[in-house]
Structure 1
C-alpha cells in the first residue's frame, strides 16, 4: 500500500513536471523567428548571411522533442528506482510498526483454558499498540482468576461431597445388614447403594478432571506398556461379563508424566471400549513408539458428526447408548484433560464396521511426537 501510494504521487509529480517544461520551452517557429530577425550583421562579411527560418525551426523542434523525451525517460527511471526504495522502506516500516500486533496474535493463538499464564508484556512507548497489549493482558488476568476459581470450586466441592456420601453408604449397609430388615427395605437399600456408588464415581471423576486441568506438579518417567498391562489384567472380569474379547500388543514405551493420571487415562479408554461394545465384540489395545496408545473397539456405528460431543463432560452419543450404563459421562473428558496435561494429542475416529478408534500421542523422553494431519472423519482434541 505504501509503495502504491508513493507510485501514484510520483506519477502525479512526473505529469506536473512534464506540463511545466512543455509550457516553458518555446516552440520551433518562435525560436526561428527570433534568431532570423535578431542576427546582428557581421562587419567582416558584406552583405550579412541570410539564415533559413525553416532549418532553424526544424532544429528547434527536434531539440524540443528530444528534451521532452529525455525528461520523460529520466523521470521514469528515477520513479521506478524511487518506487523500489519506497517498497523496501515501506516494508521495513510496516514490519516494525506491526510487530506488536504479531506478538499479540501469537499469544492469543497459544492461549487455552489450561494455559492462561501467558502474557504479552509489550515494551515500548505508550502508544495505541501498547495500550491494546496492556488491555489484553488485564483481560487475561481476569480470565485466569475466573478459571482458577472455577477449578478450585469443583475440586473443593467434589472433595467435600465425598464424606457425606461415604457416611450415607455406611448407613445404608448397616440398615441392610439388620436381620429384621424387610424385603422392601432390602430392595430400597440396593437401589440407594447403586445410586450412591454412581454419585461416588461422579465425584471421583470430577476430582480427577479438576486435578488434570490444573496441570502436572511433577513429571517422572513412566512405562506406559506396564501401566496398560496392569489395567488390562484388572479389566479381565469386566470383559468377561460384557462378553468382549480383549487383545493387546504392548511394546516398551516410556513417557514423562504422572503415573496415577496415566493409569486413569488407560483405564477410562479401556472401560469405555468395553462399556460401549456388543456381546461377542472385541477390543484391541496397542502401545507403540508412535502413537503411544491406540484403543480400538467394535460396537454401534458412530457418525463423524457425533465425534465432537464425545469429549465434552456429561455427553454421550445418544440415549440408546446411555441407557443401562453406569458411567457418569466424564470418561473421555478426563482422557482429553489428562492428555493435554501431558502435552499430548488425542484423536477419535469411527472404526470400520462400528465402534471407535482412539489414538493418543504422548511425548517421550527427550523427544516430541510429530503429528500428521488427521485423516478424514477424525476429531483431534
Structure 2
C-alpha cells in the first residue's frame, strides 16, 4: 500500500528537480541578456557627448566663461548618467524578478510535459495486477527512450504472465496426478485388510496410520488446489454471500469436534448486514478454515468467539480463541504457506500449514484482507474484511 505513495513522492521529486533545472536555465539566460543589455547601454551612455536636453550652449566670450560652461555641462551630464543608470538598474531588477517567476512557471510546464509519458506508464502499470497480466501498455509513438521503457515493461509482463500460467498448470496437474497413486494406495490397503485371514494387530495399526497419512496428503493436495485457485483464478464477480449464515453453518457442522474438546462457543455479534460477493465455494472454505483453525489449535476446555458485522464499506468476520500468550512476530507469519506455531503453544501439531494462507488468498482475491493478532490476554484473533454488498440475493453455502 505504501509503495505507490513512495513512487508518487519520487515522481514529484523528479518533477521539482526538472522544474528547478529548467527554471535555473531560463533565469540564467534572462539574467545574461539583462547583463548584456546593461553593458551595451552603459557603453552607449559613456560614448555620448551630446548636451542634455533643454540646454543650449552659448558661444563663450572668454576662456574663463568657456571653462565654466564646460564644467556646468559635465555636471549636468553626470547627473543624467546617474539617473539613467538608476533607471536601468531598477528596470533590470524588475525584469529579473518577472523573469524568475516566468522561469519557474515555464520550467514546471516543461517538466510536466517531459514526465507525462512516464506518469502514463506508471498509472497503467499500477492498474495491471496478477489477475490481468494479459494487459499491455502498448505505448504508441516514435522509437525513443520512453517507448523503449514501455516495450521493456510489456516484455516483463509477458514473461510474468507465462510464469504465472505455468505455475497454475503445474500445481493443478501435479495435484491431480498425485491423487491417482494415492487412490491406488488406499484401495490396495483396503483390499489387504479385507482378506479373510486374521490380520495381526501391528499390521492393523500400521494400516490405520497409513490411512491417516494418506488422508493428510489428500487434504494437502486439496489445499494446494484451493490456494492456486484463490491466488490466480478467483473472480470479483459472484453471488451475494452472508458471512453470518456461513459461520453458523460451519459451527453446526463442527459441533461434534467442538464437544469432543469441551470448547465453549460464545455468541458474538452476528450482523445480518455482513454480506459480500464472490464464489460461495471459496468463501465457504475460507470460513471453514478459520473455524477449523480455532477448533484444532485450541486446548481442551477452551473457548471460541465468532462475530460478523459491517463497518463502513467493509464486511467483517472475527474469530477469537483463548490460550497461552503468543508472539506477534510468529503470528504474523501464519498467513504464509506451511507456517505453524510450535505444538506446545497451539496444543496440536496437526494441519497442513495451508489453512490461514488459503484464508488470506481468498480474502485478497475479493479485495479484502486478513489480520492476525496475538491477544494480550492470550490466544489468537483472526479478522477478515471484505467489500460490503447490500444485495441479499443468493443462498450462502
TM-score, L = length of structure 1: 0.85
**How far 1:115 moved relative to its partner?**
4.4
Equivalent in 294, 300, 303 of residue 273 of structure 1: 294
Question: Which of 292, 296, 303 is the equivalent residue of 2:320?
Answer: 296
* Residue 204 (structure 1) aligns with: 222
Say if 2:206 is the partner of 1:188.
yes
Give SS of 1:353's match: coil
TM-score, normalisation: structure 2: 0.82
Q: 1:275 to 1:55 in 2, by over 3 A?
A: farther
Measured against aligned partners, the alpha-carbon deviations of 1:254-277 in whole angstroms (never above 9, x if no partner) come to 211111111100011111122222
Q: Given the alignment of the two structures, is residue 69 of structure 1 paired with residue 82 of structure 2, yes or no?
A: no
How many Å separate the matches in 2 of 1:321 and 1:161?
Answer: 33
Tell me what 1:121 maps to. 138
SS of equivalent to 1:359: strand
Q: Which whole-Å deviations, capped at 9, do the CAs of 1:329-378 have from their partners, x for residues lacking one?
A: 101111111112212122222212122212211112269xxxxxxxxxxx
Is 1:158 the equivalent of 2:178? no
2:306 is matched with 285
- Quick one: structure 1 residues 353 and 47, their matched pair in 2 at CA, closer, same or farther if it must change by over 3 Å? closer
Q: Deviations over 1:86-122 (max 9, x none)?
A: 3222222221221221223334445544443443222
Instruction: Note closer, same or farther for the CA distance 1:277–1:54 as it changes in structure 2 (3 Å cut).
Output: farther
SS of equivalent to 2:310 = coil
Alignment of 1:42-81 (within 5 A): 50=66, 51-81=68-98
The one of 258, 261, 264 aligned to 2:279: 258
SS in 2 for 1:362: strand
Structure 1 residue 190, shift from structure 2 partner? 1.2
Higher mean C-alpha deviation, range 330-339 or range 350-359:
350-359
- Alpha carbons 1:295, 1:358 under 8 Å: kept: yes
1:216 aligns with 2:237: no
Q: Give the conservation status (yes or no) of the 8 Å contact 2:299–2:346.
A: no
How far does residue 27 in structure 1 lie from its aligned partner after superposition? Answer: 8.3
Provide the C-alpha distance between the structure 1 equivalents of 2:326 and 2:121, rounded to a whole number of angstroms. 40
Q: Which residue of 2 aligns with 1:233?
A: 252
Identify unmatched segments of 5+ residues in structure 2: 1-19, 392-397
Compare 198-207 and 338-347 and name the one that shifted more: 338-347
Matched pairs, number: 360
Within 1, Cα distance between the matches of 2:84 and 2:343?
A: 89
Q: 1:324 to 1:255 in 2, by over 3 A?
A: closer
Q: Distance in 1 between matches of 2:74 and 2:299?
A: 106
CA RMSD of aligned residues (A): 2.9
Does structure 2 conserve the Cα–Cα contact (< 8 Å) formed by 1:294 and 1:359?
A: yes
Q: Is the 8 A contact 1:216 1:342 kept in 2?
A: yes
Distance 2:291 2:262 in 1: 14
C-alpha contact 2:342 2:349 (8 A) present in aligned 1: no
Check the 8 A contact 1:276/1:299 in 2, yes or no: no
Deviation at 1:142, TM superposition (A): 0.8
Q: Distance in 1 between matches of 2:228 and 2:250?
A: 22
Assess if the C-alpha contact under 8 Å between 1:347 and 1:360 holds in 2. Answer: yes
Q: Which residue in the other structure is 1:12 paired with?
A: 32
Rounded Cα–Cα distance in structure 2 between residues aligned with 1:311 and 1:353? 22
Q: Which moved more, 1:96-105 or 1:328-337?
A: 96-105
Farther-moved stretch of structure 1 (202-211 vs 114-123): 114-123
Cα–Cα, structure 1 residues 312 and 259, in superposed 2: closer, same or farther, change >3 Å? Answer: same
Residue 354 in structure 1 maps to residue 383 in structure 2 = no
